[in-house]
Homo-oligomer: A and B are copies of this chain.
Amino acid sequence: MLDDRKLTVLRAIVEDYVSTTEPVGSKSLVDRHHFDVSPATIRNDMAVLEEQGFIAQPHTSAGRIPTDKGYRLFVDRLSSVKPLSAAERRAIETFLAGAYNLDDVVMRTVRLLVQLTRQVAVVQYPSLTRSAIRHIELVPLTPQKLLLVLITDTGRVEQCTVDLPDPWDDASVSHVRAVVNTCLGGHKLSDAAAMVSDLAERIPAGERTNANAVLAVLLASLVERNEEKIVFGGAANLAAHDFSKGLREVLEALEEQVVLMRLLGEATEPAILTVRIGAENEVAGLQSTSVVSTWYGNADQPLAKLGVLGPTRMDYPGTMGAVGAVARYVGQILAES
């Protein structure tokens, strides 16, 4: 029902609309792409495409613009991810290699994506629960208060102050620190919570109240509270496009951590690019935007997600290329440290 030419027409409409921002008509279509048929023929095709819901006209006497469904077909069947140029790949590599800690890696990743796509970039920190404990440090602040610092193998460093039920001397702290590190070190944080109960036996009764109770609670709450660490950048790029819903709504959505998380979407297969187009996006207020996201991390161990948000009228092949490439390089960089 959709022959080859109709698909080609749809592709042409999407490409033209994305680059010009203006509804595209049958005439300009045959001009720019060398179709060897007349505008009238194209019009017939367009009528069919419209009937099927792939394109629409803003008003009667205007050209056509793609619908969400049209973009969907375009992404699924009519386009291929555009690989980055060699120069761009080199730029990514060197820029990321300059990072000296995780915060810096994440920040640079955001910048990279913003630069490459000229849109809004969203990057999630490596999941805590999926990470393994590299080291736990306890720093006494006062006799009844200490600072817990958690360091994971993915480079995340999280901190939390703890109020102790009983006063504690330095020796006890050192002892508990040693026990905690030998027992929990190297284990995934998701397993650690369960192991805390075993830990109690290895700690003398005098220290148990503090150590056991407090640490168990703290590890859990620290992990839960920080699981969803996520940042974005490139908001200025939103101002360039005009959103029907007003960009205030979009900006508000972006400033909500929870919304950002949902934006990157539920689990999909790692190493696959996910594209959400317009209304496919469940987040209210972002239904005139599209999101291209993917996992990053080693092939065997996905760490977290990153993505790009822009108007539905975006350069999908280019954006997908950039997101894919950046995710790959970030994975490499983190694997090395």
Interface residues of A in 146-184 (CB under 8 A from B): 147, 149, 151, 155, 157-161
Chain B residues whose CB sits within 8 angstroms of the CB of A251 once the complex forms: 235-236, 238-239
In the complex, A14 Cα to B139 Cα: how many Å?
A: 53
Partner of A147, one of B147, B151, B246: B151
Q: Is A85 among interface residues, defined by CB-CB distance under 8 A?
A: no
A161 to chain B, nearest CB (A): 6
Q: Is A271 among interface residues, defined by CB-CB distance under 8 A?
A: no
In the complex, A238 Cα to B250 Cα: how many Å?
A: 12
A117 to chain B, nearest CB (A): 15
Q: Is A255 among interface residues, defined by CB-CB distance under 8 A?
A: yes
Report whether A161 and B337 are in contact in the complex, using a CB–CB cutoff of 8 Å.
Answer: yes
Report whether A255 and B236 are in contact in the complex, using a CB–CB cutoff of 8 Å.
Answer: yes
Q: Is A12 among interface residues, defined by CB-CB distance under 8 A?
A: no
A30 to chain B, nearest CB (A): 36
Chain B residues whose CB sits within 8 angstroms of the CB of A246 once the complex forms: 239
Q: What is the total number of copies of this protein in its complex? A: 2
Total interface residues in chain A, CB < 8 Å: 35
A172 to chain B, nearest CB (A): 17
Interface residues of A in 206-259 (CB under 8 A from B): 225, 233-236, 238-240, 246-248, 251-252, 254-255
Partner of A248, one of B103, B137, B147, B239: B239
Report whether B239 and A101 are in contact in the complex, using a CB–CB cutoff of 8 Å.
Answer: no
Report whether A255 and B233 are in contact in the complex, using a CB–CB cutoff of 8 Å.
Answer: yes
In the complex, A326 Cα to B79 Cα: how many Å?
A: 52
Residue of A134, A155, A160, A255 with highest tally of chain B CB at under 10 A:
A255
A288 to chain B, nearest CB (A): 15
| Given A236-B251, A246-B239, A251-B236: A139 touches B151 (CB 8 Å cut-off) | yes
Chain B residues whose CB sits within 8 angstroms of the CB of A272 once the complex forms: none
Report whether B252 and A141 are in contact in the complex, using a CB–CB cutoff of 8 Å.
Answer: no
Q: Is A73 among interface residues, defined by CB-CB distance under 8 A?
A: no
A283 to chain B, nearest CB (A): 15
Q: Is A84 among interface residues, defined by CB-CB distance under 8 A?
A: no
In the complex, A234 Cα to B163 Cα: how many Å?
A: 33
A121 to chain B, nearest CB (A): 11
A111 to chain B, nearest CB (A): 9
A95 to chain B, nearest CB (A): 16
| Given A240-B248, A248-B239: A100 touches B149 (CB 8 Å cut-off) | no
In the complex, A7 Cα to B103 Cα: how many Å?
A: 51
Chain B residues whose CB sits within 8 angstroms of the CB of A147 once the complex forms: 134-135, 151, 155
Partner of A137, one of B135, B161, B233, B240: B135
Chain B residues whose CB sits within 8 angstroms of the CB of A247 once the complex forms: 239
- Please list the residues of chain A having a beta carbon within 8 angstroms of any beta carbon in chain B: 100-103, 134-135, 137, 139, 141, 145, 147, 149, 151, 155, 157-161, 225, 233-236, 238-240, 246-248, 251-252, 254-255, 337
Seed contacts A141-B337, A236-B251, A236-B252; 6 additional CB < 8 Å A-B pairs: A102-B159, A137-B149, A157-B157, A234-B255, A236-B248, A240-B248
